[in-house]
Structure 1
Amino acid sequence: MDMLEGAIHAAAPGATFIAPQHLDISDPGSIKSVASTIAYGTMSYYTGNITNTPDTIAIFPQPHYWWQAGACWGAMLDYSHYTGDESYDDVITQALLSQVGPEFNFMDARYAGSEGNDDQAFWAFSILEAAERNFPQPDDFIPPWLDIAENIWNTMVLRWDNTTCGGGLHWQIYPSNPNGLDYKNAVSNGGLFQMSARLARATANETYIQWAEKIWDWSQKIGFIDENFNVLDGASSAHDCQDVNPLSFSYSQGIYMYGSAVLFNYTDGDDVWADRTNRLLQASRSYFGPFPNSTNIILSLHGRNDTDDAFNFARC
């Protein structure tokens, strides 16, 4: 029996599967049962351990993207941590370690054609979760989770570009992928912001909090965070970021919000970060009930190819 099949068979007999519409948020057992249903459904899409090749381990079948796999494994890691269900832990570990790349920084040449700064950041979030949860890592030949997260940060911060827009990360990394190469976007810069905040808390290294503050200040100055604390999508570096795209997406809002909340925690309740976190939270209300038939339901839009991506990401 392979690792994936073992995980599913281990989860199924003891699990009580409850559909999300029957969730009782006042009952911890109900919450765990619904989470188990969703986790089981998520893993049903994954066949990487069955095919068990370097190109399929950790990766979900098309039309899913590499970054979405990173987000999914982070969600599965959170599921394990919050529910205590370790059924999928071996699968999660294998998936995360399979993508570290030769320099242990998630810069794998196999994905150079699609890896942007935002894609790398999503894998970094999952690695940071592993570090923050003290998630076991059985391979002594690979650096600890926190070291890997710092490696990722070190590659990203070197790509901070002061030649246009007064700073900021571009969406794309490689010149061979020109789609978006001249676009500086909120999700990439928010990703580096959140990573900096979490690394500051984990290491107490002042360099990280200085960078978090720098990225926040730049994001506000350039207009990615507007006066109402809506996080807007991005702008063209070819126009010195004077043409901010007014579209706003929930994952960008959430990325900045979480980073801000981490800094509020790390600074022992600093009023500045308390205010920023609260205002980002209040601005996120625009994603709940934007249409008469979706009152109090979050509408998760998050980037280009919205229809397909939103459908795929909802699975994870």
Structure 2
Amino acid sequence: MPVHRRTFRLLLAGAVTLALGLVSPPAGASPGEAASGPTAVARARVAADQLMSSYEPGKAWFPSSWWNSAVALQTIGDYMQRTGDRRYLPQLDNTFEKDKGAFPAGYLSGDELLGNFTSRAIDDSEWWGLTWVQAYDLTKNPKYLDMAVKIAEYVEGYWDPSTCGGGVWWNGERTYKNAVTNGLWIRLTAELHNRMPDDTRWLGRAQEGWNWFTKSGMINSAGLVNDGLKDNCQSNGDTVWSYNQGLAIGAGLELWRATRNPALLTTVRRLADAAIAPGGLVTDGVLTEYCDAPGRTCDDNGKQFKGIFMRYWTDLADTTHDSRYADFVAQQAATIWDNDRDASDRLGERWSGQTPNVFDWRTQASALSALLAAVPATPPIRSLSATTDPALPVVMPSASTHVKVTVDVQATGPADQQITANVQAAAPSGWTVTPARSSVTLTTRGNAVPVHAAVQLDVTIPAGAADGTHSVTATVTSGPLLSYSTRSDILIAHKADFDTGTSAETPWLYDADGSQSNGVQNRFADGHSYFVYRFPFPADAKSASVVLTIDNEFAVQLSGDGQNWTTVATETNQYHDGQNKADRTFDLTLYLGAGKAGYVRISDSFPNDGWGGRVYHVTATYK
């Protein structure tokens, strides 16, 4: 799906009635200011819609990661449960029905899938178990809970007291016992018990797992959770990943709900306090993964760890009502919104906004969990919002240029209530935006399904506009309480010159498809995935070209309309180590003219072995 086409873009903000005691803050609220309930819902909704724009309905997952898809879908379940929005239940069921069977290695996971969402990766299986418990909570459909039980029964076979006195093995080969697998096991079995009347089996397994885990040595003297055990059953002292800490907190909380044993909350608080204490997981007040540090890069797994931590921190704040934990929630949500978000509402890996930053659906899911933590348990009904499309357009000018921007105005409120929203648009000095003022009337249908209306803006960019990003804003208001501002960041550029895997790449990336990026100067497409760059050269340009720094098993195609493709380069050797890395130039002159653009598509010339075309840097110029 082209990244600039937002099927789901609902930036909801506003206020509920004064009787509920919630009032939306002004549109110009100070950065870092704690969000009110309506604003918190708005931010979560926008992030959830952006995340779901990456969902691939054919394979019913988020390409191309199996356990990461489980966590992303569980986060969407959290979103629906927290806000009352139920639009994404069909996607949950689509995944359940399409992916519950057996699949060969490489189709949905690097591992063979054995059916019922199980594989040799025991922790992967557990993530799916938690996802289906969440689906059961949302729908009360017993098929989801039945699937979670099947997964738990499979995992139960890997509990082994003959090694280290207990614990679940991390993998089918039984080579490692670690924190994530056992934290998941305790949480899953406790959740099953709390949803199954008269259960004793799963409660016993949860208690047994907790007793073993807390005595295993993986919780160190500082109260931080190391990754796992060595062959001699001693803690390996490996990295304290945030998701291990969060799962330990979440496991204890769910077991406490089952037993009401106060000792469990004492341990949970010790784990939580250790996480936010000096030497823990926080840098300058912001949750920071080990791989977030300067000079390091999180892989596709690490990108989602902080969100898992925040999922269970939300449970902690809700359960204890401790203001310290709630304040931490507010700080993370505000930091992300103020520092880690672009105009298209994408959220990055480094919540502090530190560069270089990485944006993809994994980082989106992770940050969404922090935004959800700030949503009150009882969400507001009334809200008003606006988004822009395109949010990140590119203009490569030669003279005065026009850009069309759609402002999508949305509202929620009691059924059959009319809301009149005024739209005020503004552009940089010397630019013109028409109309500058307009209004729309919407009839609301409750808080679960927003209604919307579109306002079309014509933006005139004067000749000689400086290269760089220029913001066109739209502020939507209805009465004194409902107000929200959105923007379109228009990039003026006489050439494209960017590293892949960075925010500078985003405006040019027309269609990410199933491609992946593992950091700066890294975008690749394996199998039948691809990615497309679009260069909107001016109609009067005489010549144009693009230079790709590219390697491995690439295929390069060009187009003038993004539909009909000409193959111009194919790597015929099966290179896996980048030894063919080089700058390669491709002529785009044939694709110039009115109504055209230069499209460059990169894919995999050997789709069966997983070493597709990888691009590091892109430069496109015209004369």
2:272 aligned residue: 281
2:364 equivalent in structure 1 = 315
Partner Cα distance (2:13, 2:214) in 1: 46
CA distance in 1 between partners of 2:44 and 2:185 (Å):
29
**Greater helix fraction, Structure 1 or Structure 2:** 1
Q: Deviations over 1:123-154 (max 9, x none)?
A: 11111112223x265xxxxx621111111111
Do the aligned residues in 2 keep the contact of 1:289 with 1:298 (CA within 8 Å)? no
**Higher Cα Rg: structure 1 or 2?**
2
Letter in structure 1 aligned against 2:124 = D
Structure 2 residue 239 is the aligned partner of structure 1 residue 251: no
* Aligned 8 A contact 2:253 2:265 in 1: yes
Determine the structure 2 residue equivalent to 1:192. 185
Spell out, residue by residue over 1:137-175, the C-alpha distance to the aligned partner (whole angstroms, 9 max, x if none): 5xxxxx6211111111111011112332122222212x4
Instruction: Give per-residue Cα distances to partners, 1:20-47, cap 9 Å, x unaligned.
Output: x96764411101110012112212222x
TM-superposed CA distance for 1:87, in Å, is 2.3
Structure in which a larger fraction of residues adopt strand: 2
Distance 1:185 1:97 in 2: 31
In structure 1, give the amino acid aligned to 2:133.
Answer: L
How many residues are treated as equivalent by the alignment? 275
Q: Determine the structure 2 residue equivalent to 1:261.
A: 253
Distance (Å, rounded) in 2 between the aligned partners of 1:163 and 1:289 = 33
**CA distance, structure 1, for counterparts of residue 128 and residue 278 of structure 2:** 25
Secondary structure of 2:60's aligned partner? coil
Q: Of 219, 226, 250, which residue of structure 2 is paired with 1:225?
A: 219
* Counterparts in 2 of 1:234 and 1:289: CA distance versus 1, 3 Å: closer
Which among 287, 299, 314 is matched to residue 288 of structure 2? 299
Which one of the candidate residues 114, 119, 128 is aligned to 2:124? 119
Consecutive unaligned residues of structure 1, counting only runs of 5 or more, are: 1-7, 138-142, 176-180
- Aligned pair partner of 1:57 in 57, 60, 70: 60
Cα distance change on mapping 1:152 and 1:243 into 2, 3 Å:
same
Q: Which residue of 2 aligns with 1:3?
A: none
Asked if the contact 2:10/2:49 (under 8 Å) is kept, the reply is no
Find the aligned partners of 1:115 and 1:23 in 2 and give their Cα distance. Answer: 44
TM-score with structure 1 setting the length: 0.76
Distance 1:12 1:125, change over 3 A: same
1:137-216 correspondence to structure 2 within 5 Å? 137=141, 144-173=143-172, 175=173, 181-203=174-196, 204-216=198-210
Residue 401 of structure 2: aligned partner: none
Could you tell me which runs of 5 or more consecutive residues in structure 2 were left unpaired when the two chains were aligned: 1-5, 15-26, 113-118, 305-361, 366-623
Query: Partners of 1:13 and 1:42 in 2: how far apart?
Result: 12
Q: How far has the Cα of 1:306 moved from its partner? A: 6.4
- Secondary structure of residue in 2 paired with 1:132: helix
- 2:35 matches 1:41: no
How far residue 189 of structure 1 moved from its aligned partner, in angstroms, is 1.0
In the alignment, is the contact (CA less than 8 A) between 1:118 and 1:171 conserved in 2? yes
TM-score of the aligned structures, taking structure 2 as reference length: 0.40
CA contact (8 A) 1:42 1:315 kept: yes
Q: Give the partner amino acid of 2:171.
A: Q
Alignment-derived partner of residue 66 in structure 1:
66
Partners of 1:162 and 1:279 lie apart in 2 by 27
Structure 2 counterpart of 1:5: none
Deviations 1:199-221 (A, max 9, x none): 12112412222211211121122
Runs of 4+ deviating beyond 6 Å: none
Counting aligned pairs with the same residue, the percent is 24
User: In structure 1, what residue type is equivalent to 2:207?
Assistant: E
Q: Contact between 1:100 and 1:108, CA under 8 Å: does it hold in 2?
A: no
- In 2, the alpha carbon distance for the partners of 1:285 and 1:217 equals 24
Contact 2:122 2:169 in 1 (8 A): yes
One-letter amino acid matched to 1:211: R
1:45 alignment partner, SS class: coil
Structure 1: how far apart are the matches of 2:279 and 2:84? 30
